[in-house]
Amino acid sequence: MERSFDQTSFIEALTRHQPALEAFCHANLANREDARDVLQAACVMLWQKASDWNPETEYLPWAFTVARFTVLSHIRDRMRDRLVFDEDVMLAMASQTEAAANDFDDRREALRQCLQKLSVDQRGLLQDHYGTQRSAAHRFRCSQNDGGFFRERTGHH
């Protein structure tokens, strides 16, 4: 008996678990841009295979399997471009990453609680660094032109 495709359940699962899939891709690829490209390709592949997913089973292990094959495919394509991990090493890393990514939601909540303990200025510094990908040295150089913004935000005078 063929089961019907529940598009709503699939979209909810994909949306809920996309941060864990993103973490999985980043952990398995050294380059942030490559990880973003692979995440996008994995999401497309997940959508193409959506009717294969059984909503009565856990979504994340199934999605990790698709993402793992997408990562491996990307690595095989890039083998001729530069030095990359051997496929056996990649498979071992993927297993460890998959286990760590299963704890992703708990870690994200713990991080959220830690961030709440910081002052607005301290959170701003973290956002400046991780959100804009600018180095501390770049922000410090820029602060020389704005009257010591960096020193005010960090408390260093």
% residues pLDDT > 70 (the chain): 76
Is the domain of 79 the same as that of 154?
A: no
Which ranges of the chain would DSSP assign to H, the alpha helix?
7-28, 32-48, 59-78, 87-101, 104-116, 120-126, 132, 136-143, 149-154
pLDDT value for 139: 63
Predicted TM-score of the model (pTM):
0.53
Is the domain of 39 the same as that of 104?
A: yes
Give the domain extent around 87.
7-113
Q: Which residues make Cβ contacts (< 8 Å) with residue 36, sequence separation at least 6?
A: 25
Is the domain of 59 the same as that of 92?
A: yes
Could you tell me which of 71, 123, 73, 137 has the C-alpha nearest to residue 101? 71
Q: pLDDT per residue over 87-113, tens digit each?
A: 777 777 777 877 777 777 788 888 889
Q: Which residues make Cβ contacts (< 8 Å) with residue 143, sequence separation at least 6?
A: 149, 150, 151
Predicted confidence band of residue 1 (pLDDT cuts 50, 70, 90): very low
The total domain count for the chain is 2
Is the domain of 122 the same as that of 68?
A: no
Is the domain of 132 the same as that of 78?
A: no
pLDDT value for 65: 93
Q: Determine the Cα–Cα distance for residues 140 and 44; give it in Å rounded to an integer.
A: 40
Question: Is 1 within a domain?
Answer: no
Average pLDDT of the segment spanning 68-88: 79
Is the domain of 88 the same as that of 24?
A: yes
